[in-house]
Amino acid sequence: MTRRPALTLDSSTITVAVWHNTTGMFAAWQPDDAMIKVFAFQIPAEAARTPDRVLAETWRIFNVGDDELARSYRARRLRSLSVGDVVAIGELAWAYNPIGYRQVAGRLTVTDVGVAGSTSLNGPQPT
């Protein structure tokens, strides 16, 4: 896996957004896959984490984590992060591959139409 440069952060926090792939679940992300934003959280800029560390920690939290952030994610009845899902750190995004991840070039194909385990962050919440 290639090392990524440290993020340049201008403010005290940066947003990390989780996007579920509703088209090609468990397959490598493709530019025309429909993506739905399901979760977002802030990380401190002063932590000066590299994208590699943020991506690895995000994968851990939303697959096997048991901290407050993981519990909030699961409370929304969201499925685990999978191959084909995307995590955006600020304005840059990475797609999870069968092994590792790759930076996304261009824009995501965004949808607000969810599927089981992938409900829109901005839409109705599960009851």
In this predicted structure, the answer to whether residue 9 has a pLDDT above a threshold of 70 is: no
The residue ranges of every structural domain in the chain are 13-110
Specify the pLDDT at position 38: 96
Please tell me what DSSP assigns to residue 4. Answer: P
In this predicted structure, the answer to whether residue 105 has a pLDDT above a threshold of 60 is: yes
How do residues 57-82 score in pLDDT, each as one tens digit?
999 999 999 999 999 999 999 999 99
User: What's the whole-number average pLDDT of the chain?
Assistant: 86
CA dist 62 and 104 (Å) reads 20
How do residues 23-44 score in pLDDT, each as one tens digit?
977 889 999 999 999 999 998 8
CA angle 121, 122, 127 (to 5 degrees): 70
